[in-house]
Amino acid sequence: MMRISDSFRTAVAGITVHKNRSFLTILGIVIGITAIMAVMSIGQSAQELIVGQIQRFGPANVFVVPGRQPNGPNSAAGTILNDSLKEKDFKDLQKKENVPEAKAVVPYVFGYAAASFGSEIYDVMVIGSSEYVQKNFDLKVAEGRFFDVFETDQKARVAVIGNKVKEELFGSANPIGEKIKFKDQKFQIIGVLAAEGQGSFIDFNKAVIAPYTAVQQNVLGIKYFNRIIVEAESVEALPGVVRDIKTLLRNNHNIDDPEKDDFFIQTQESIADSVKTVTNILTVLLTAVAAISLIVGGVGIMNIMLVSVTERTREIGLRKALGATNGNILTQFLFEAVFLTAIGGVFGVIGGTLLTYLLAYVANKFAGLNFSYIFSVSGAIWGIAVSFVIGLVFGIFPARKAAKKSPIESLRFE
């Protein structure tokens, strides 16, 4: 009786006879597993990067966002453009009697504008806030200083610029004390931020930060806020702070039905959960798309195995004449199919690992992203497991066909 180990050795020998054909056969599997590994690893890295940026704000921050809670891509744009957060809301949130457990209330306005100095022009993100923005984002000043509460109250046209803005507008010259223009409005530069990797939300290297009072009036021409961040005294105080904010804003906006809120509240935890949900969905969808190539590879393996069965008809007849059973023949050809896909799975994992490392390196080196390389253990396990399944599913038909061949007819085959 033929042992499993004998069937395995025979299967390996059958594959190595036609090395080039075997290589081309497993190529589809290699590409599919490589794509799956890369997608899952990049998805995990992107999730870590974005969540890390969110955590820069600190766990005790509450984000007040204008507009209705977005529930799809069509509603998100309306949220960004909503003007429901007014000066009165900001001032009322600052009052201790309204939000007793609030430690700080920080307003934000932002938009894009062309900054110019002499003949140089550079498109920047203009961020208007209070002096507390430096703590919110843990910003480091490389030259000069940050603006203070007095300058914010006085609507002073002073600005702190990012490292890239300095490079584009001033080159190697010292920008401190110089004035940049937004249309016909001049802002004096008082500080330059230290260079940092590009974040998921804001690239401060390409930003100009100024008192929100001056940005609202002189750059954006608005009288509302794009965001208000309320820092609670502690993480434990968050539920009470959220409740107080909702009560205050509903009273200010004459809202009786919470379903009609023209604002919504986010915490670090809720934002991180949303990001994880989105990245997980995208990873699953992209993995499903990448898996299509595995099906193509599986069809290729089935096709080659059918050709192999036809080519080896006399061999099958001879082995059966020498005592091999249908089960022995089935096992041999099934082993061949699984062995091919297993090899493809292993090389696919290696290829996916190298591709992901290369993409992470390029993102860090040339795009300025703090993109860490993550080896997806689950991707590797799934890749190898799926390759085995592909071998079994697409190898069973050719193997059954080989096992059912009559030994007499097989020996007569020319």
How high is the pLDDT of residue 185? 93
Confidence check: pLDDT of 310 > 80: no
Residue 54, pLDDT above cutoff 70: no
DSSP secondary structure letter of residue 99:
S
For residue 260, the 8-state DSSP code is: G
Q: Give the separation between CA 107 and CA 215, rounded to whole angstroms.
A: 12
Cα 173 to Cα 166: distance, rounded to the nearest angstrom: 9
The dihedral built from the CA positions of residue 264, 267, 270 and 276, taken in this order, carries a sign that is positive
What is the C-alpha to C-alpha distance for residues 176 and 142, in angstroms, rounded to an integer? 11
Between CA 216 and CA 126 the distance in angstroms is 10
- Higher-confidence position of 341 and 177: 177
Contact in structure between 87 and 216 (CB atoms under 8 Å):
no
Q: When comparing pLDDT for 262 and 69, which is higher? A: 262
Q: Is 184 exposed, middle or buried (0-12, 13-18, 19+ CB in 10 A)?
A: exposed
Going by pLDDT thresholds of 50, 70 and 90, the confidence category of residue 1 is very low
Domains in the chain: boundaries: 4-53+274-412, 83-261
Would you state the pLDDT for residue 224?
Answer: 94
Mean of the pLDDT values across residues 310-315?
A: 68
The predicted pLDDT at position 297 comes to 76
- Residue-wise pLDDT tens digits, 97-114: 999 999 999 999 999 999
Q: What is the mean pLDDT of residues 244-266?
A: 92
pLDDT of residue 200: 47
Name which residue leads in pLDDT, 341 or 146: 146
Q: What is the mean pLDDT of residues 370-393?
A: 80
Say if residue 164's pLDDT is above 60. yes
pLDDT at residue 6 tops 50? yes
pLDDT at 400: 77
CA quadruple 132, 203, 140, 181: dihedral positive or negative?
negative
Q: What is the pLDDT of residue 408?
A: 58
Report the distance separating Cα 129 and Cα 207, nearest Å. 13
255: which 2 tokens?
A: 């809202």
Share of the chain above pLDDT 90, in %: 36
Using one digit for the tens of pLDDT, what is the confidence trace for 313-337?
767 677 767 677 777 777 777 777 7
Other C-beta atoms closer than 10 Å to the C-beta of 398 total 24
Place 406 in a pLDDT band, splitting at 50, 70 and 90: low
Cβ proximity of 80 and 226 under 8 Å:
yes
pLDDT tens across 195-228, in order? 876 554 678 999 999 999 999 999 999 999 999 9
Given a cut of 60, whether residue 363 has pLDDT beyond it is yes
CA-CA distance, 70 to 49, in Å (whole number)? Answer: 23
